[in-house]
Structure 1
């Protein structure tokens, strides 16, 4: 039997608000939805939203956390009606921190996250978790490449090596997104990914 507690109700309402904000961002990735717009999308009052998220920053951070927790979709890579390079690039873009939210968050948030893994007070557990996450993402990318290898777009047996190359590029782009002085614009990011993808494909675009 499901026991509905106050904690369950709070989590459900928070999820409702976060999903409403994500829908607005999905409809317009360059926007920064207002509290009023998110409340309207969620079907609640602005005062109710502020009860769960007192500041717009708190809401943005919750949306970002949800985006980072969600596994990337694999639907695009299996759509053989589209060029392999286009599909692979679209999948890789999912691995980058959402641009609209990154621009709204202070760099200190990212610095704290990195310090928790690489700083002097970082624990072995946090470093192992970071490494495990990286390995999981490489396996996912290798899986995407395996799909393309079946189509003849990627050399068989090169999936693991190519996944390491692509993840090195993605890691670099992710770092540039969170560093205020090193950000590329969207066109530059896409060009970098296009070049990396072209390097692992057999010249098919």
Structure 2
């Protein structure tokens, strides 16, 4: 089976059949070559229904989780998106297909460099990739209409919520090793509003 065939099967079986309905997300996931973002020895498993190790005690998230996060962000293509925890760069590439501009932050320099190469090789060199503490966000580019964090934290980092535009969406896993929820938080005039929650499992958010 070719990579294109495996990708199409992943979209149909792992995403569409599980309830991902946003056609823009499904199309983006069908375009980005996931095999370019995993270690070479795992390329044959790129479209498995699972998270995969990428080194430095980090993983590339399960395809369904990436799609679910993107769908929860409700992107229309005009947004500037902040991506916390670049990791492999795969989610940043998918977001780059869905938004006008993507800024991604990774705390581990070696992962950031690998992700940068993969993004360039797959036509996503426009992603602004920085090395730093994702919990602090990127005040120089705020406010953001959408922020996604691919690492778990017990509480919402204040800087991330502060950098949301009015009506902006923040999607992140809340909790610890015993249990996490993938939530969507919306900045409203009355304060934070939680609008969605599903069970998940992410590596913890770490500082610089």
- Given the two structures, how large is their TM-score scaled by the length of structure 2? 0.29
- Given the two structures, how large is their TM-score scaled by the length of structure 1? 0.29
Structure of higher RCO (CA pairs closer than 8 Å, 6+ residues apart): 1
